[in-house]
Amino acid sequence: MAGGVFDDKSNGARAHLYEYKITSYFIISCIVAAIGGSLFGYDLGVSGGVTSMDDFLKIFFPKVYRRKQEHLKETDYCKYDNQILTLFTSSLYFAALISTFGASYVTRNKGRKASILCGAVSFFLGAVLNAAAKNIAMLIIGRCFLGIGIGFSNQVSRNLVIFSLRVFKISYIMYKKKYFQW
C-alpha cells in the first residue's frame, strides 16, 4: 500500500491502549500542526512587503532605496538586486532548514516538550532582535533565530501529525471492531 503511515502490519494489536474517541487533545494537536506550517507563508508575505517599503529601505538598505528612486527603465528585479537584501530574505529559510536536523535530535532524545520550548525561546529571541534592530547584522541574526524557531516548530508539528494519524487509525480500528462485528 502506498504511504507507509497507513500500513497496519499488527492489525491493531495495541489498539486497546487508545481510546476510540476523537478528543480535544487530538483536535488541538492538529490545529497546532497546521499553524506550524503556516508560519512560512506568513513570513513570506510579511518580508516581501517589508523589503519594498521605503522607510525600511532608507534605514537598512540605502543603496537599494536610491536605485529604486532613480526611476530607471528596468524591472523591479534589477532595482532590488542586492546580495545583503537577498541574505536578509533567505536567512530565515536557511536557518529553518538547518535547525530541523537539530530539532529532530532534540525531539527524539528529549521529547516534544523540550523541542517546543527550544523553538519558542528561539522565536522570542528572534522577534526581540528584529524589533530592536539598529543595523542589518541585527536583522539577519534575528531572522536566523526566527528560522530556528520555525524549524523546531515544523519538526514538532510534523511529529504531531504523524502521531495524530496513528491515533486516528487505531481509533478507526477500535470503532470498526466495536460496531461492525461480523
**Percentage with pLDDT > 70 across the chain:** 62
Section 75-95 average pLDDT: 79
**What is the arithmetic mean of pLDDT over 8-33?**
64
Between 167 and 41, whose confidence is greater? 41
Angstrom distance (rounded) from CA 1 to CA 21? 26
Cα separation values, 166 from 64, 70, 75, 163, 181, Å: 51, 58, 50, 5, 22
The residue type at 132: A
Considering only CA atoms, which of 148, 144, 155 is closest in space to residue 105? 155
Q: Higher confidence at residue 141 or residue 19?
A: 141
C-alpha cell at 162: 504523524
Q: What is the pLDDT of residues 47-83, one digit of tens each?
A: 777 887 888 888 888 888 888 787 667 666 666 677 8
Minimum mean pLDDT range among 36-50, 139-153, 161-175: 161-175
The SS3 of residue 12 is: coil
Gap between the Cα atoms of 4 and 64, Å rounded: 49
Residues whose CB is less than 8 angstroms from the CB of residue 29 and which lie 6 or more positions away in sequence, other chains included: 160, 163, 164
Global pTM value: 0.66
The mean pLDDT of the chain is 75
Residue with cell 528529549: 110
